């Protein structure tokens, strides 16, 4: 144990040397780890790459959508994230979500009423159908709780904080900032609705 402290003077050279080596070591030990941790954030926000590849997935046929109600369809997307991204001996993950489908204001267009199950629609008919159907995600825009159809009051209700949406997914009451997220979807000739893991209003995160 040295008896008392010895304070030698610090020359300019020593100070500059220590400063330079110190910063280099600091950079080497902080910049790569930062990128290491921020990798998904960079990919998601800057390069807009999503974990889910651009694929169309079927959710159901328009004949299954009843009038005056929003029904839930389960849809499964392939998900490539960390160890589920299809390496040599690993599988591709999957993410199952629910899409709520409902006719505009609950009224089935007469186009569909006349056609039976197997019939096919022309291009223009498909376009009118796409305008008259709402395909929305079931995550509440406030805090992401699963919303559900409340047949008593004919509205879509979020159980967490009392958010209320109309049958078209428009925001009516409660804390949610805006209406439900609307899927990017298309309708095939034989009336099957196909959905992509992309939303009209942007990225809702979580879902």
User: Given the rule CB under 8 A, which residues bind other proteins?
Assistant: 37-38, 40-41, 43-45, 50-52, 72, 74-75, 79, 81-84, 93, 95-98, 138-139, 142-146, 148, 150-153, 157, 159-162, 166, 170, 172-178, 197, 203, 205-207
In sequence order, which ranges of 94-181 are alpha helices (DSSP H)? Answer: 110-114, 123-132
**Taking the complex as a whole, how short is the minimal distance between the CB of residue 122 and other proteins, in angstroms?**
33
The secondary structure of 85-118 as a DSSP string is B--TT--BEEEEEEEEEEEGGGPPPHHHHHS-TT
At 20, which helix (H) or strand (E)?
helix 12-41
Q: How far is CA 38 from CA 10, 25, 87, in A?
A: 39, 20, 21
Beta carbons within 8 Å of 35's beta carbon, 6+ residues apart: 42
Q: CA 123 to CA 162: how far, in whole Å?
A: 40
Q: CA 109 to CA 62: how far, in whole Å?
A: 11
**Taking the complex as a whole, how short is the minimal distance between the CB of residue 27 and other proteins, in angstroms?**
21
Tokens of residue 9, six digits: 């003077």
- Determine how β-strand 148-150 pairs with β-strand 133-137: unpaired
**Taking the complex as a whole, how short is the minimal distance between the CB of residue 42 and other proteins, in angstroms?**
9
Going by the DSSP 8-state scheme, the letter that residue 28 receives in this structure is H
Residue closer to other proteins, measured from CB, 133 or 141: 141
Q: CB of 26 within 8 A of CB of 18? A: no
């Amino acid at each position: 144990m040295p008896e008392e402290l010895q304070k030698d003077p610090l020359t300019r050279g020593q100070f500059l040397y220590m400063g330079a080596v110190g910063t280099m070591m600091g950079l080497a030990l902080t910049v790569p780890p930062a990128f290491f941790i921020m990798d998904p954030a960079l990919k998601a926000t800057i390069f807009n790459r999503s974990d889910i590849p651009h694929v169309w997935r079927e959710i159901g046929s328009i004949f299954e959508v009843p009038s005056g109600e929003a029904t839930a369809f389960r849809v499964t997307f392939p998900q490539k994230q960390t160890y589920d991204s299809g390496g040599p001996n690993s599988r591709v993950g999957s993410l199952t979500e629910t899409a709520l489908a409902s006719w505009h204001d609950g009224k089935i267009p007469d186009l569909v009423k006349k056609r039976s199950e197997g019939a096919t629609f022309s291009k223009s008919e498909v376009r009118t159908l796409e305008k008259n159907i709402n395909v929305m995600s079931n995550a509440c825009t406030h805090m992401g709780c699963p919303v559900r159809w409340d047949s008593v009051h004919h509205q879509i209700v979020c159980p967490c904080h009392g958010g209320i949406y109309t049958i078209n997914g428009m925001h009516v009451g409660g804390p949610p900032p805006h209406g439900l997220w609307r899927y990017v979807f298309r309708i095939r000739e034989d009336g099957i609705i196909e959905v992509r893991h992309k939303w009209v209003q942007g990225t809702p995160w979580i879902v």
